[in-house]
Chains A and B, each alone.
Chain A
Amino acid sequence: MRKSTVGLCLVLLLLVFCQPAEAARISDITETSMTEQVQRFFSLRDPSVRYALLGSILLGACCSLMGSFLIVRKMALMGDALSHAVLPGVALGFLWNMEKDPIAIFIGAVLVGLLGAGTVQLIRNTTRHKEDAALGFVLASFFSVGICLFTMIQNLPSGNRSGLDKFMFGQAAAMGQGDVTLLATVTSVILITILIFFKEFKITSFDAGFAKAYGLRVQLFHYGLMLLLAFAIVSALQAVGVVLVSAMLIIPAAAAYLLTDRLSVMLVLAAIFGMCAGATGAFMSFVGRNLPTGPFMVIAAGAVFAAALFFGPRHGLVSRWWRQRSQTAKIRCENTLKALYRVLEDGDFVQESVTIQEFCEQRRETIEDARQQWKEINKAGFATLRSDAAAFTPDGWQRACEVVRNHRLWELYLTNTANIAADHVHEDAEKVEHILGEDAVRKLERTLNHATRDPHGKLIPSIRDIHAHGTKISAPVRVDDKPTGFGSTKENA
């Protein structure tokens, strides 16, 4: 797997290097209609479109990979601070030979970024400040220096043609071959490093003390990660902008974190989300003509995050709400069945069906509510309805017996084993009856020596009752069969 990925990276690099250098800037394009723009984007005719798209996808991948490690290390703010801190470095890189040379800017920004990270470390280690204050200080002060330098450059004779303004909010269209080559290189380096040292990055993120104890040089991996982070931030700056690059680090990774419990899966998901967000940003920016790319990328990533937050299968808010809703519905349904059972029990199981009046009396509810509940159990296949009476189906009988059994077993368990007074146990049993699993029931029965009566003297349906009655009800039965059946199984038990 590792070999194939390395191969893929090499092919990617070659592709970028082989691009013809005739690039026309997207901003040069004259007025065209929206559909034409969309067509031009998808045909990938223009080299500039290719650069913008490829660059955005690459930056989405490398930022979200690094961001995943920031999230699991609880260092999300570090990305924010570092992305602002590199701004003076960008300006210095430009001033080095007064042109927008990607390499010079990259080196300048990485160096200043590391200086920023070092300053955070220094403040944390030598003063009583914690990391949050140190990050706040570095973010703001480095950013201010950067803005001063930028303004200085803008005021120079050649300054307004510098293209440095693109570093603030990002313009994927402003990326040239050099920028994309740099991004491809950085992404490959990050990908290969993570693939090789995945195990080490995982253990240092999870339990650094343990890693250090077995002899791993934890600090080395920490600084290595910071260096890669600086690489990712700096190479992505031009497309997303200083202000929003931290969002591309954090948001796709945060969305992935909500969806999985494995670090490896999280990395893959984050990279996919990042690439999709990058492509969307590049597309919107191109079609909307010269709109900033960064915000669109971040909005796209934000949409993915929102989707994960609401619809994630396990931790998603909607999914959780849905599970809770179906749990509530199940409990309501079981309570209805239980009430039906108790009406039958009060009549010594002589009658076969329950009238709505009897049911309402038992539940102390209005007829409307009762009808609604009956409709629900009918829909679930637990009861058949005939005018104003309801009768159990075999399934319904079984379910009702189980719930009543759970309730009474639990009451008995609480009174006998936990020594709780008999008049205190009902409330608790009302909750527990719906969640007792078969295993727990078997254990309870064993503990209670297969007792047949609950603390209030009511019969506890045994497993034989549950099945015996289930089959009898499905066959045409004489009404007076039931109490006999119940009694006989009791004697057997």
Chain B
Amino acid sequence: MVDPDNPPPLELHDLTVAYHKKPVLYGIDMAVPKGSLVGIIGPNGAGKSTLIKAIMGLLPASAGWVKVFGEPYKKNCHRVGYVPQRESVDWDFPVNVMDVVLMGRYGHLRIGQRPTKNDKEIAVECLKKVKMLPFAKLQIGNLSGGQQQRVFLARALAQESDLYLMDEPFVGVDAATEAAIVEILRELVTRGKTLLVVHHDLATAKEYFDSLLLLNMRLVAFGPTEEVFTPEILQTTYGGRLTILSEVAQTIGVQKS
């Protein structure tokens, strides 16, 4: 299925993740083709964030493997851009908007190397794209939720990656910003980038994404939106957890700790 000369941006095989010794993701198998805009949807606790964190090695996988452009993640981490959840950082941290966006360039710099003029120009471009340039000198805590999210997006854009993993970029964002972000995501896709976006809103998922990954502790379905956005599949994804699966997970968790 996989062409060795042209490996897919992301390939997972039997990826299993245990969180605090309790399994939360079971045997995820998938290959994401180049240039797709994938929405990851599923109920709370389905393991959406866990999946993308496990892909990047932020959480240890207990089984299976991840390949990014045909190589283990660590080898190709510079080709991956990341938008973490907004709550994951301290917004009182003494940095301004420009500093944060420049952090997107750090992956391209050697350890100990300062951002160059070129990096700063790229950062300015990315700030322009998300319409945050006027705020460049502002401390990040003074921004609204939507603005903070746009700063994170600008930082990811500055990474100039080929594969983007975004964790809930639409949370706490007003409708106008949401539309602006979607437009930027679409533009990235037309430039041949591959995007995986964790999304919580079923209503908009259908119109935003080309393909959907429905998740509930295991992969329920992955495919083009029109094929997988069906009542039956949604029912399987959202219709409560698989009772036996989560009960067993509970028991394993208790035994291990």
Contact = CB atoms under 8 A, between A and B. Distances in A.
Given A72-B94, A211-B106, A215-B74, A200 B84 contact: no
Interface residues of A, number: 26
A207 B102 CA distance: 13
B82 interface: yes
Interface in A162-198: 196-197
Interface in B135-184: 139, 155, 159, 165
A213 B96 contact: no
Contacts of A207: 84, 88-89, 103
Interface in B88-143: 88-90, 93-96, 99-100, 103, 106-107, 109, 111-115, 139
A205 B106 CA distance: 14
Contact of B94 (A203, A209, A210, A266): A266
A210 B96 contact: no
Given A199-B106, A206-B103, A261-B139, A212 B56 contact: yes
B103 A72 contact: no
Contacts of A74: 90
B133 to A, nearest CB: 18
Contacts of B53: 209
**Chain B residues touching A, range:** 20 to 34
A260 B94 contact: yes
Contacts of A209: 53, 58, 82, 84, 88
Contacts, number: 82
Contacts of B200: none
A206 B96 CA distance: 12
A286 interface: no
B93 A196 contact: no
Contacts of B96: 261-262
Given A197-B111, A207-B84, A207-B88, A212 B95 contact: no
A229 B139 CA distance: 27
B77 interface: yes
A199 B95 contact: no
Contacts of A205: 93
Contacts of B45: none
B205 to A, nearest CB: 24
Contacts of B139: 261
Nearest to A215: B77
A210 to B, nearest CB: 6
Contacts of A262: 94-96, 99
A214 B164 CA distance: 12
B64 interface: no
A214 B107 contact: yes
Contacts of B103: 202-203, 206-207, 210
Contacts of B107: 214-216
B80 interface: yes
Given A199-B109, A200-B112, A72 B93 contact: yes
Contacts of B114: 199
Nearest to A199: B106
Contacts of B112: 196-197, 199-200
A207 B139 CA distance: 16
B239 interface: no
Contacts of B192: none
Nearest to A220: B111
Contacts of B206: none
A260 B94 CA distance: 7
A299 B106 CA distance: 40
Interface string B61-86: 00000000000001001101010100
B84 to A, nearest CB: 5
B161 to A, nearest CB: 9
A257 interface: yes
B103 to A, nearest CB: 5
Interface in A233-284: 257, 260-263, 265-266
B20 to A, nearest CB: 10
Given A199-B112, A200-B112, A257 B77 contact: no
A263 B94 contact: yes
A73 to B, nearest CB: 9
A212 B94 contact: no
A206 B107 CA distance: 15
Central interface residue in B89, B94, B139, by most chain A CB within 10 Å: B94
B61 to A, nearest CB: 15
B84 A214 contact: no
B94 A213 contact: no
Interface in B28-64: 53, 56-58
Given A196-B112, A200-B106, A214-B159, 19 more contacts: A197-B111, A197-B112, A199-B109, A199-B114, A200-B111, A206-B93, A207-B103, A209-B82, A209-B88, A213-B77, A213-B165, A214-B77, A214-B106, A216-B107, A260-B94, A262-B95, A263-B95, A265-B94, A266-B94
30 contacts: A197-B112, A200-B106, A200-B112, A202-B95, A206-B93, A206-B95, A206-B103, A209-B53, A209-B58, A209-B84, A210-B84, A210-B155, A211-B106, A212-B57, A212-B58, A213-B56, A213-B58, A213-B80, A214-B80, A214-B106, A215-B74, A215-B107, A257-B94, A260-B94, A261-B94, A261-B96, A262-B95, A262-B96, A263-B95, A266-B94
The 7 closest A-B pairs by CB, nearest first: A214-B107, A261-B139, A215-B77, A213-B82, A213-B56, A196-B112, A263-B94
